Structure 1
Amino acid sequence: MKYFVVFFFSIISIPAFSQIETISGTVVNDNTYLPLWNINVVNINLAKGATTDAKGYFEIQAKVSDTLLVSSIGFQSIKVTVTNDWIKNKTSKIRITEKAYALEEVVIPPYDLTGYLEVDSKLIPEKENYFYNIAGIAKRYESGESSPNAFNRVISSLMNPADMLYNFFGNKPKELRKLKELKKDENLRTLLQSKYDRETIYLLLSIDKKELAEILERCSYSETFAQTANDLQVLDAISGCYEEYKVLKKK
């Protein structure tokens, strides 16, 4: 009977620890202890985002053991785990450190320009890339290949179980479900529009830099896009490719 009671209370206590709560925090400079404005806070587990105000304050939905990525240009990114005491107290203070920058050499492309716009515009080669639209974003973006080849890439993934794209989409249902959550959270979408470091993408999808490059290439996005698109554009591109994959897999 004693063991039954312990087991019973263990079961009913589990939901309390996994319940989603709204927690808050303050982000400060590790050296000056001054609050930091416009710092990005992303809950990697729930695909939720927030940004600090002028007092360094933010609120975000989370549960125990969730990982928060705290980042901003000019500061070292850190990962913070949501603990039981944070959930209980509802607030916490996070300290981040400024980056030390060194000046790098600037390389000027070897174009022999004349100073006349009409002449110089013909001297600089144009990249032969296509343009495409990502749902929900008005601007057009560059792609290296046309859509028929993108279709062939996805088909080859379905036919070849060893293909990287097939394995990625087939083995990461949990991570890819976060892409749906991403579309629901406007705070996170706005936040990702200003990010280019791919840190959030690596954590959200549990991939590394090499895997991300290969996924974009298999989904027929150009190297230029992979290097210049913001994090939101990259995630929307992968999401679109995943939707194509699901449709073709059903067929």
Structure 2
Amino acid sequence: MSTKKNNILLIALLLVAQWAFSQTAEPTFYGKIVVDSASVENINVLNSRTQKATVTNAKGEFSMGVKIGDLLILSSFNLETKRKFVRAEDLRGELILLKMTLLANELDEVKVQQSEITAESLRIPTATKHYTPAERKVRTATTGLLDPLFNKLSGRTRMLKKQVLVEKNEKLLLKLDGLYEDKYYTDVLKIPNDYIGGFQYYIVEDPDFARALVDKNKTLTMFYIKKLAVDYVDLIKQEEAEAAKSTETQK
């Protein structure tokens, strides 16, 4: 009898655990990137809310845990960056096709610069610049004799500069964290609750807002965040309109 009770208790615990997991587990977004005449492998996919990232496989496919309203940022050194808002319709387990555009790979004309009188040439001591790890990689890739040319042709310099940008954005997000309550985003800025994380990533990419945030200028920060909120809400509406149009076309 006791064995039967133990089995029933065990089954009940397993059911409760399964239910709890289903409540906390994030749904999965399945995507496939499509690019004309270019490789779709190893394209970076970043969830701006969680800061988790993945890369596409040889077919351009990827999967990622998300929530409705998350902003996915798709990037590669040879492609134009694409942003994708996650909607409820995207989480039905179907593969979502995402079109990306190839960047024109133009090699700038090499110009011989005239020598200038600088503090370094006159051996005047100057303040030492401290580089972050990502900035040091960019400096290494863009100095020397032949390295800059090879790195530019291969796209490595562009990739390293993007790493610096991601690093700076992460620092800005830390400064922004806790600065405004969620209620301010939803009630004042009219940002849907599910889109708050994506909006935060969006605004730290704006140079004017980023400068005001670093300078701790509350007046300018408030001015720019309201302006950017209007633009962001418009982006959401455009995304929803395009999704509705795509649905009608498929019918």
Under TM normalisation by the shorter chain, which class is it? Answer: 0.3 to 0.5
TM-score, normalising length from structure 1?
0.43
TM-score, normalising length from structure 2?
0.43
- Structure number with the bigger relative contact order (C-alpha 8 A, sep ≥ 6) is 1
Kindly name which structure, 1 or 2, has the bigger radius of gyration based on alpha carbons: 2
